[in-house]
């Protein structure tokens, strides 16, 4: 229930950090810089190892050469083209799969007959790894755009569906009864009780879905594509451009991180009532 939510761990972290505010500024700077120390050192070591020739350029090009490769590709407009293509596929596939997952999750969560009719089928399909159907998808769609979009949609569908369904089912029965007593109509009950109650779970499904979205896209573009980041890296492999391959990996990482940050931002906005997500943490 409302009160049973555990106090956010961040609340204690906040209390712990409070004295810092009153102390010397360099301590605060150190506090924010510390997490970046290890990556910076690693990259520095990597750069030195590459320029000193300890590692072969073919195995692992230096960080700087990845930057220059990226700059060259960006200048030719090639990079932008590939990134946009990949993002379009990701977005389309996510919208279709996530939309269907949300709709079916709500339907089966709200209606027992619909659940009886559909849930067993969906649970069976869920157990097929969606990447296993790639040969099938290539037979159906060739290596067109629709193949990639379809695969992403299938991959995203299940986490969104499952979490939406469980979110709706786990809405506190006491709150639903309260809604009944206060004579909320079906729409009001859905809008004010069920949907917000299921929202934490739905957003969790969306975050899972976003992870699967990139994973699926990487595999799909690597196997069969004539554009996109996956194609760019596979193409680079043929010409032994290890720096471009690494650049592709880096871009995937950045895009994944960006998608996750967007999902977190969505959580902070939609779950601002939730003690674990509120931006302004309260103690005790």
Binding residues for other proteins (CB under 8 A) = 1-3, 5, 172, 174-175, 177-184, 188, 192-193, 196-197, 199, 271, 273-275, 278, 282
User: Please, how many CA atoms are within 13 Å of residue 207, restricted to the half-sphere of its CB?
Assistant: 15
Long-range contacts of 62-69, Cβ-Cβ distance < 8 Å, separation of 24 or more: 65/243, 66/243, 66/246, 66/247, 66/250, 68/243, 69/241, 69/243, 69/244, 69/247
Q: Which is nearer to other proteins, 256 or 275 (CB)?
A: 275
Q: Which is nearer to other proteins, 58 or 280 (CB)?
A: 280
| Residue 176, number of CB atoms within 10 A of its CB | 15
Task: Please report how close the Cβ of residue 280 comes to other proteins at its closest, in angstroms.
Answer: 11
Task: Please report how close the Cβ of residue 110 comes to other proteins at its closest, in angstroms.
Answer: 18
Q: Tell me how far apart the alpha carbons of residues 153 and 130 are, in angstroms, rounded to a whole number.
A: 10
Q: Which is nearer to other proteins, 10 or 184 (CB)?
A: 184
Task: Please report how close the Cβ of residue 191 comes to other proteins at its closest, in angstroms.
Answer: 10
Task: Please report how close the Cβ of residue 194 comes to other proteins at its closest, in angstroms.
Answer: 11
Task: Please report how close the Cβ of residue 145 comes to other proteins at its closest, in angstroms.
Answer: 39
Distances (CA, A) of 177 to 58, 185, 194, 278: 66, 12, 11, 27
Task: Please report how close the Cβ of residue 270 comes to other proteins at its closest, in angstroms.
Answer: 9
| Residue 106, number of CB atoms within 10 A of its CB | 21
Q: Tell me how far apart the alpha carbons of residues 182 and 192 are, in angstroms, rounded to a whole number.
A: 12
Task: Please report how close the Cβ of residue 186 comes to other proteins at its closest, in angstroms.
Answer: 14
Helix (H, G, I), strand (E, B) or coil at 153: helix
Residue showing tokens 């909320």: 184
Task: Please report how close the Cβ of residue 193 comes to other proteins at its closest, in angstroms.
Answer: 7
What length is written for the chain? Answer: 284
Q: Which is nearer to other proteins, 222 or 278 (CB)?
A: 278
Q: Which is nearer to other proteins, 193 or 246 (CB)?
A: 193
Helix (H, G, I), strand (E, B) or coil at 52: coil
- The DSSP symbol for 2 reads G
Q: Tell me how far apart the alpha carbons of residues 209 and 120 are, in angstroms, rounded to a whole number.
A: 21
Q: Which is nearer to other proteins, 5 or 261 (CB)?
A: 5
Residue showing tokens 């010397």: 24
Q: Which tokens in the block code for residue 125?
A: 């399909």
Q: Which is nearer to other proteins, 112 or 180 (CB)?
A: 180
Q: Which is nearer to other proteins, 154 or 193 (CB)?
A: 193
- Cβ(192)–Cβ(210) under 8 Å? no
């Amino acid at each position: 229930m409302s009160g049973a939510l555990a106090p956010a761990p961040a609340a204690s972290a906040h209390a712990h950090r409070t004295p810092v505010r009153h102390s010397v500024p360099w301590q605060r700077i150190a506090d924010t810089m510390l997490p970046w120390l290890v990556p910076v050192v690693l990259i520095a070591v990597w750069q030195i190892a590459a320029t000193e020739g300890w590692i072969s350029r073919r195995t692992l090009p230096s960080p700087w050469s990845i930057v220059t490769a990226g700059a060259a590709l960006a200048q030719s407009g090639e990079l932008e083209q590939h990134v946009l293509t990949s993002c379009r596929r990701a977005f389309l596939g996510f919208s279709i799969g996530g939309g269907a997952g949300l709709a079916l999750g709500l339907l089966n969560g709200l209606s027992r007959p619909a659940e009886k009719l559909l849930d067993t089928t969906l649970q069976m399909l869920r157990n097929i790894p969606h990447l296993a159907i790639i040969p099938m998808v290539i037979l159906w769609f060739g290596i067109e755009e629709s193949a990639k979009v379809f695969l992403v949609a299938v991959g995203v569908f299940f986490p969104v569906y499952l979490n939406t369904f469980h979110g709706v089912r786990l809405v506190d029965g006491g709150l639903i009864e309260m809604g009944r007593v206060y004579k909320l109509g079906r729409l009001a009950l859905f809008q004010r009780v069920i949907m917000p109650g299921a929202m934490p779970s739905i957003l969790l499904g969306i975050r899972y879905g976003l992870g699967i979205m990139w994973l699926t896209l990487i595999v799909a573009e690597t196997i069969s594509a004539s554009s996109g980041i996956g194609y760019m890296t596979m193409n680079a492999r043929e010409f032994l451009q290890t720096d471009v391959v690494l650049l592709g990996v880096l871009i995937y990482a950045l895009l994944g991180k960006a998608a996750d940050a967007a999902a977190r931002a969505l959580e902070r906005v939609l779950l601002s009532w939730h003690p674990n997500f509120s931006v302004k943490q309260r103690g005790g």
